[in-house]
Amino acid sequence: MASALSLQIQCPVCLCDFTDPVSLPCEHSYCRQCITSVLHNSVGQSKCPECRLRFSQKDIKTNRPLRNMVDVTREHLQNLSSQKDMLCPEHEDKLKLFCETDCVLVCLICKEGDKHRGHSCKPLKGVAGTCKEKLRGALNFLSNENKQLSDMILKQNAEIMKTKHKSQQLSAQISAQFEEMHQFLRKKEEEVKKQLEEEERNSLETMQRKMDTIEGLLKEGKEQEESFRSALKIPQDDKFLQFPQNIPKGIFSTKTQKLFQELKNSLAMQDGNNTAPEGVPVCFPTAPQEL
C-alpha cells in the first residue's frame, strides 16, 4: 500500500516526489523544474514526455491540488513508517517497554523471553521522561559552554580588530616619520651638492686663472727663448753686438720668480705633495749673475 501511494506522488521525469508540481493541457503533471528543463532543452516545439502533445511556456500551470495531495501523502507515509518501526521485528508486537539492562526497546513477549528475563524493563513513557531530563541537563550544559565559546570568539575578534587597527596606525606613523627623514635627507643632499658645486666653481676659476697665468708666462718665455737662439746664431760679431743689449729678464725677474714659486707650490698642494722630501731642497731657476 505504501509503495502504491509513493508512486502516485512521483514525477515521471526525475522519479522523485513532486516538487512544486505543475500540469500541462494534456493533464500530465511534473515538477516545475523538470518540465522547464524539458522546455529549454527541446529542439523545435516542446512535447509532453508522456503523450508527446506539444506545449509552450504559457501552458505550464501550477497544480495546487496535487501539491496538497503530495504533502498529505508524504506525511501519511512517514506515519506508516514510524508505526512499522515501533513493532517488534521478532514478535510483531508493539514495543512498549525499555530494557535498561540492554538499553533497547522490547515488547511484552521479549520481556518474558530468555534474552531479557530478569532485566529491568520499564514503560517507555517513564523512561523517556527520565532520558529527556538527562538530555535537557546535557543540553543546558552544552548551551552554556557554546555561549561561553561564542563570547570568547567575540572577544577574540575584537582583539584581532584592535590589533589590526593599532598595527595600521603604527604603520602609518612609521611611513610618516620615514617620509619626513627622506625629505630632510633630500634637502640636505641638495644643500651639500650646491655647496660642492660652489666650491668646484671657485676652485676651477682659481685654477683657470693660474692656468692662464702659466700659459702667458710660457708664451713669453718661449718668445724670449726663440729670440736668444736667433741671436746666438748670428756669426758676425759686429752684427751680434748690434743685438739689443737691454735684454728683458723675462721669467728670471723677481716678480716673475715669485709668481713662479707660488704656482709651483699651489700645484704641489693639489697633488697632495706640497712639501719636498726630507733633505732634498726645493730649487727654482735663478737669473744668471751677468744678467
For residue 17, being part of any structural domain is answered with yes
For residue 237, being part of any structural domain is answered with yes
| Contact status, residue 97 vs residue 105, Cβ threshold 8 Å | yes
Residue of 202, 223, 205 lying closest to 213 (CA atoms): 205
For residue 111, being part of any structural domain is answered with no
Pick from 44, 67, 85: which residue ends a domain? Answer: 85
- CATH code at position 39: 3.30.40.10
For residue 248, being part of any structural domain is answered with yes
This prediction's pTM:
0.36
pLDDT at position 72: 84
Pick from 85, 114, 146: which residue ends a domain? Answer: 85
Domain extent, residue 31, equals 2-85
Q: What is the pLDDT of residues 87-142, one digit of tens each?
A: 777 776 787 788 887 888 888 778 777 778 778 788 877 787 888 888 888 889 98
**Higher-confidence position of 140 and 290:** 140
- Using the predicted structure, report yes or no on whether residue 56 has a pLDDT greater than 90: no
For residue 79, being part of any structural domain is answered with yes
H-helix segments, 59-113: 64-85, 108-112
Domain count, the chain: 2
- Using the predicted structure, report yes or no on whether residue 283 has a pLDDT greater than 50: no
| Contact status, residue 101 vs residue 93, Cβ threshold 8 Å | no
Helices 254-270 and 124-232, axial angle in degrees (round to 10): 160
pLDDT at position 290: 37
For residue 120, being part of any structural domain is answered with no
Q: What is the pLDDT of residues 224-278, one digit of tens each?
A: 888 888 888 888 887 778 776 666 555 555 566 676 677 777 767 666 544 444 4
Distance CA 8, CA 71 (A): 12
**Higher-confidence position of 149 and 89:** 149
Pick from 65, 85, 105: which residue ends a domain? Answer: 85
- Mean pLDDT, the chain, whole residue set: 80
For residue 67, being part of any structural domain is answered with yes
For residue 173, being part of any structural domain is answered with no
